[in-house]
Amino acid sequence: MIPQGFFVGLTTLDYVFYVDSHPQDNAKVKTNIFKRFVGGPAANAAITYALLGGNATLVTCLGNSTESDFIKEILHQYGVTVFNCTEDDAMPNIAAIAIDRCGNRQIFSGQNRYNISNVPKFEKPDFCLFDLNQQELSIRILTNCDCEIVLDAGSWKGDTSEFLKRANIIIASENFRNPAGRDIFSIKECINAKKAVTRGEKPILVQDGEIPVESVACVDSLAAGDVFHGAFCFAYYHKHSDFKKALTYASKIAAESVKHDGPREWVKHIGG
């Protein structure tokens, strides 16, 4: 059986502007290079998992609008099954992102609060990845989730401690701290989970050391962390790599992703 992965959390429609430099206050920056992508941590991870050959299902809130229909069509093209868990007549979450010549970003993220009306009933997947966004939805999925739990721990949000208690694997950013200021290795709620901390171009931290990361010239870091999470899940659950080998594989895919414009160009440049 092909492993089935659920990705639960935020989906956005990203309007991305590639600029020479970021604007000063009350200034206008013009560019001829601007694109539109489906984004959001859970969505990007699901797309990555599917592009690599995995069976991905995205559980999210999209609203119901022309833009929502566009997102669903794009996800379908990438091979991602989508559960839209709201009937709200609303736009999807929208992000405006400016990226300069060094790959540095400014992000404006507009996020709706949706009424959760359609929580899917599903057969047991092999794992669920939660990005800790859209927590009303995520908590309801977590409560009935009888599978391995992977956390994309970018920052502390709301009921994060409830997810930590259930987590089998946690991949955190180096800025992730609980309200007491503790990092992922010293938070008691997740003492038995496998843990890693990603730090951009610096080595990945694990409980017993570090994992080297390839040094590359960054063209565009858009969604690189999300690509990392999707690639890790593919290596760990689909390829059955061990924890450290899966982290190494994910770092190579993420490093390839930042060498190209946009969040998906990397797939044209990797081997089988």
On whether the pTM is more than 0.85, the answer is yes
pLDDT by residue for the chain (272 residues), tens only, comes to 789 999 999 999 999 999 999 988 898 999 999 999 999 999 999 999 999 999 999 999 999 999 999 999 999 999 999 999 999 999 999 999 998 887 788 899 988 889 998 887 777 899 999 999 999 999 999 988 889 999 999 999 999 999 999 999 999 999 999 999 999 999 999 999 999 999 999 999 999 999 999 999 988 888 999 999 999 999 999 999 999 999 999 999 999 999 998 899 999 998 75
Q: Which pLDDT score, from 0 to 100, does residue 272 have?
A: 56
**The Cα angle at residue 9 between residues 64 and 250, in degrees rounded to 5:** 130
The amino acid sitting at 104 is: N
> Phi first, then psi: what are they for 254, rounded to 5°?
-65, -40
Residue environment code for 10-39, b if the CB has 16+ CB neighbours within 10 A, otherwise e: bbbbbbbbbbeeeeeeeeeeeeeeeeebbb
- SS3 for 139? helix
Q: Which domains does the chain have, with CATH numbers?
A: 4-11+40-91+116-269 (3.40.1190.20)
Give CA–CA dist 46/78, Å, rounded: 9
